[in-house]
Amino acid sequence: MRKARWLAEWRKSAGKPVFYHVISRVVDRRFAFGPEEKEKFRALMRLQEKFTGCRVVSYCLMCNHFHLLLEVPPMANSGFSDQELLKRLSALYSEAFVAGVAKELADARTAVYAQDSGLEDALATIHKRFTYRMQDLGEFMKGLLQRFTQCFNRAHSRTGRLWEDRFKSVIVEDGVAAKTISAYIDLNPVRAGMVKDPADYRWSSYGEAIGGGSKGNGKTARAGLVRALRAHQGIGADADFWASGVSREYRKLLMAGAVAKSSDSVGRDGKMISKTLRKGVSKAVAERAREKDGEVPFAKMLRCRVRYFTDGAVIGSRSFVDEAFVKSRERFGINRKSGARRLKGDAAPASGVLWSLRDLRRGIA
For the segment 38-60, what is each residue's pLDDT rounded down to a tens digit? 999 999 999 999 999 999 999 99
d(CA 208, CA 154): 27
Q: H or E element: which one contains 129?
A: helix 119-131
Q: How far is CA 185 from CA 40, 51, 87, 141, 221, in A?
A: 19, 24, 30, 17, 13
What is the percent of the chain with per-residue pLDDT over 70, rounded to a whole number?
A: 86
> Which of 21, 91, 13 has the alpha carbon at shortest distance from 56?
21
Query: Is CATH 3.40.50.300 correct for 19-75+141-303?
Result: no
Domain extents for the chain?
A: 19-75+141-303, 82-131
Q: Is 356 helix (H, G, I), strand (E, B) or coil?
A: strand
pLDDT digits (tens, 9 = 90+) for 126-146: 999 999 999 999 999 999 999
Cα separation, 233 vs 16, in Å, equals: 11
Identity of residue 227 = R
How far is Cα 165 from Cα 294, in angstroms, rounded to an integer? 38
- Phi-psi sector, 28: left (phi>0), alpha (psi -120 to 50), beta: left
Q: Where are the beta strands (DSSP E) in the chain?
A: 19-25, 55-61, 65-71, 168-172, 265-266, 272-273, 314-316, 341-342, 355-356
| pLDDT on residue 115 | 60
CA distance 39 to 184: 21
Confidence (pTM): 0.87
Cβ-contact 242, 224 below 8 angstroms: no
Q: How does residue 260 score in pLDDT terms, banded at 50, 70 and 90? A: very low
Rounded to the nearest integer, the mean pLDDT of the chain is: 86
